[in-house]
Amino acid sequence: MKKLYIILFILAFTPACCYAARSMGNFEGQGYVGTLPDVTKSFHSTEPAEAKPVYDKTKQFNSENQLKPIPRDNPAFVNIILKQDKTSPYLNEINDFIAMLEKIYDSIENQEDVQKFAARVYYFTKNADYFRDKYLDKPESSYISFEKIMELSLHAATVSQLRSEAERYSPYLAYTGAGKIYNANNINEQLEYLKAEIEQTIAILKDAN
């Protein structure tokens, strides 16, 4: 009797199990089963934007009509732009010498002490030495401005040395004989000669410009 109940129980559940197994076998390996949401509704196609330059375009930049010919027939253009000015460094140094000489002239005019006068002359003569070495074997050495600077440098150095020696030795020398060159009258006379030569040289240097 018990066996009969067991057989009936097995037969009652066998069709459902087979159907479930058959149903699972139909979708095996086919992934998700069901309705997928439509995700395309939240997306919008966009066209690529054209990048714009941050600068303005030059109209017909390479156009021959926009380019003006070089005025080679214009003397001002040729002399200033195309022709190299070989004298400009020389003239720049000439202008520096004018400023130096004006300070020496003012020193004499204002009767500055020996130390200030000697310092101004020393600065001028050292620059004159450099100037001489730089242009000695060049065409500039034949210029009158060059020659005047060399002459004045020697004269100024001589007067400066005379003033310095007079201040150092005058208390111990008589104003006669060899000591006469150190007296005040002779010193002042030499300063006036130097001042006149400075004035003349400045005029020549300004004409060189």
For 32-39, what is the mean pLDDT?
A: 58
Predicted confidence at residue 119, as pLDDT, reads 98
Q: What are the boundaries of each domain within the chain?
A: 88-208
Residue 105, pLDDT > 70, answer yes
Residue 86, phi then psi, degrees to nearest 5: -75, -15
**What are 12-31's pLDDT values in tens digits?**
555 544 444 454 445 455 55
Query: Are the C-beta atoms of residues 205 and 94 closer than 8 Å to each other?
Result: yes
Q: What is the pTM of this model?
A: 0.58
**What are 46-70's pLDDT values in tens digits?**
555 555 554 455 455 455 555 455 5
CATH number (1.20.1440, 3.20.14, 2.20.25, 1.10.260) of 88-208 reads 1.20.1440
